Amino acid sequence: MSAAAEIAFDHVTKRYAGRDAAAVDDLALEIPAGELCVLVGPSGGGKTTALKMVNRLIPFDSGEIRIDGRSIYDLPLIELRRGIGYVIQQIGLFPHMTVGENIGTVPRLLGWPKQKISARTVELLELVGLEAADAKRYPAQLSGGQRQRVGLARALAADPPLLLMDEPFGALDPITRFRLQTELLRLHREVGKTVIFVTHDIDEAIQMGDRIAILRQGGVLAQYDTPDAILAHPADDFVKQFIGEDRALRRLALRTLEHIPLETAVEAAPGARLSKHTSVRNAVSQMLETNEEQIVVVDDDGSELGIFRLAATGALL
């Protein structure tokens, strides 16, 4: 596990030639090492532009971007890029290379010995949920979901401290997307890298982000905070509208029953038994559906942890 990098956008501005509005306007935000930061907003919000500035695919006009305190223009371009994992929506696997060769691209460029590369390839295939035998297949022989798993493995190959992901799951069907979102979160916990993740989907942002940066038209940062804080205190009407009217329910979805205060359970308390890993939102939904006033939260071993009452929901918001 390599160290994660801390990223700072220091008042970065970018204007495309011939356009009045800025693509990114005075963007200032700091992403702590090891966090997954989601850039989200409507199209024209400059989120992809902001992302591609970090690996210098798009130059900016003013300001500075720093990785671990060092300006990205202090490093040679090629060295900078080889130290940043890059995942895009269209994946961009090399069609003429096998899965293994695709994954080994950056390690080969870095001159790793062959054995180390093939060992790393096997390790990564397993990490992203593929089999070692898949290394010999060509991208054309894979499904969309499998391809994006390979794309992720390829980005992680040289163990970069920073991962840039540009709508990585945008082209996948909902079921595959959900599975990959879940796995990316697991993977993020395991490898502990800093991730900048671009999406236009606020649900995905809330599910994935340790922090969310909401960008509005013209590349202006509307709000930058944790999902819970944004849902609890939207900065303005734009953010309110963007996150939707059901923000109370969304906040409940962020927490599971094990993370809220419970009433002490009495012997043989009435009410359905729900696992402590259930989200508060789902627990509320179930009580409304069955017309019950309370449920009993149980641990993994079945022991009762306490009671959660429907009436206590308001206190959580």
161 vs 234 by CB, closer to another protein: 161
Report if residue 163 touches another protein, rule: CB under 8 A: no
Report if residue 149 touches another protein, rule: CB under 8 A: no
Per CB under 8 A, the segment of 97-105, 187-195, 196-204, 211-219 that binds another protein is: 97-105
Distance CA 41, CA 194 (A): 20
Per CB under 8 A, the segment of 18-26, 34-42, 62-70, 137-145 that binds another protein is: 137-145
Q: What is the side-by-side strand order in the sheet with 273-275?
A: 273-275, 294-298, 304-309
Q: List the one residue from 91, 125, 239, 307 that touches another protein (CB under 8 A).
A: 91
47 vs 216 by CB, closer to another protein: 47
Q: List the one residue from 5, 36, 67, 88 that touches another protein (CB under 8 A).
A: 88
Distance CA 39, CA 198 (A): 5
Report if residue 133 touches another protein, rule: CB under 8 A: no
Q: How many CB atoms lie within 10 A of CB 199?
A: 25
How near is the Cβ of 64 to another protein at its closest, in Å? 21
Distance CA 259, CA 261 (A): 7
How near is the Cβ of 224 to another protein at its closest, in Å? 25
Per CB under 8 A, the segment of 71-79, 199-207, 260-268, 276-284 that binds another protein is: 71-79
Please report where in the chains the tokens 């819970």 appear, as a residue: 228
Report if residue 138 touches another protein, rule: CB under 8 A: yes
DSSP string over 226-262: -HHHHHHS-SSHHHHHHH-TTHHHHHHHH-BGGGS--
Per CB under 8 A, the segment of 3-11, 72-80, 210-218, 297-305 that binds another protein is: 72-80
Please report where in the chains the tokens 């090629």 appear, as a residue: 78
Residue 305 phi/psi, 5° resolution?
-95, -30
How near is the Cβ of 45 to another protein at its closest, in Å? 20
Collapse the DSSP code of 7 into the 3-class scheme (helix H, G, I; strand E, B; otherwise coil) and give the result: strand
Q: List the one residue from 47, 147, 154, 177 that touches another protein (CB under 8 A).
A: 154
Is residue 262 a contact partner of residue 307, using CB atoms and an 8 Å limit? yes
Q: How many CB atoms lie within 10 A of CB 163?
A: 25
CA distances from 249 to 41, 243, 283 (A): 20, 11, 11
138 vs 238 by CB, closer to another protein: 138
Residues 6+ apart with CB under 8 A from 253: 206, 279, 280, 281, 282
140 vs 311 by CB, closer to another protein: 140
Report if residue 93 touches another protein, rule: CB under 8 A: yes
Per CB under 8 A, the segment of 15-23, 147-155, 184-192, 306-314 that binds another protein is: 147-155
Q: Give residues in contact with another protein (CB under 8 A).
A: 55, 57, 77-84, 86, 88, 90-98, 105-106, 109, 138-142, 151, 154-155, 164
